[in-house]
Structure 1
Amino acid sequence: KDHHLPFLQHKISLFLLQNPFDAKHPLYVKVVDSVRGSPAPNVPVKLYKEAADGSWELLNSKQTNEKGGLPELTTKEQFVAGLYKLELDTASYWKSLGLNPFHHHADV
């Protein structure tokens, strides 16, 4: 088993969408394994909001579902105007596939 795959094979795509199915949870995160062309399940995702002092406040932490989706990461009340950051734990996803990760997390 070759664990030294090119960078291209360690690619995850992230889609941020307005959730049309659930007004209580306005943000929908979708993580896709771009190499395999399939959803990336069980990817730990953390949502942060920038605080007034410039630090990052953790709002929530969950894992993507079997379809690579994360529909309930924040609520309408929490999701106010501001600067947000998502942190995807890509290392755990690649390790679950038996691959050595190129990077340990991706921030968006």
Structure 2
Amino acid sequence: MSGAESSPLTTHVLNTGDGAPAARLALSLHLLDSSTKIWNMLTVGTTNTDGRCPGLISRAAFTPGTYKLRFETGQYWDAMGQTSFYPYVEVVFTITEPEKRFHIPLLMSRFSYSTYRGS
């Protein structure tokens, strides 16, 4: 992942059960091929100590389309020695104005999650 430029798409994962950022959580970004309806993986990453994953996608690669952020929540909880109900969380969203900035936070606990379009 390119960290040299600011990504037009950002995420922030918070462990609401502990009230802390979810560090070292694996995630991937995918783009849906509109003709085949197959998800194509664009990048993979891991959240940093602040629960953020910089450099998800470059401005040049960010085009209109349907995207998916997949968060490997089960692996995260396993690494913490805890069980969880959701093995992963997928957030699917549509980009029509790629020149704008988009922030997709994930608030999670072992048995719940929520997301929204942030700023």
TM-score in terms of structure 1 length: 0.75
Please state if 1:56 is matched with 2:53: no
Whose strand fraction is larger, Structure 1's or Structure 2's?
Answer: 2
Deviation at 1:41, TM superposition (A): 0.4
Alignment of 1:2-81 (within 5 A): 24-52=6-34, 53-81=36-64
Answer 1 or 2: higher relative contact order, Cα 8 Å, separation at least 6: 2
* 1:7 alignment partner in structure 2: none
Contact 2:5–2:55 (CA under 8 A) maintained in structure 1: no
* 1:97 alignment partner in structure 2: 80
Q: CA RMSD in A?
A: 1.3
| CA deviation map 1:8-63 (0-9, x unaligned) | xxxxxxxxxxxxxx854111110000111110001101100011311100000000
Contact 2:27–2:44 (CA under 8 A) maintained in structure 1: yes
1:51 partner letter: D
Structure 1 gaps, min length 5: 1-21
Q: Report the Cα distance in structure 2 between the residues aligned to 1:79 and 1:37, rounded to whole angstroms.
A: 32
- The alignment-based identity, stated in percent, is 29
Structure 2 gaps, min length 5: 92-119
Count of matched residue pairs: 87
Superposition misfits of 4+ residues, deviation over 2 angstroms? none
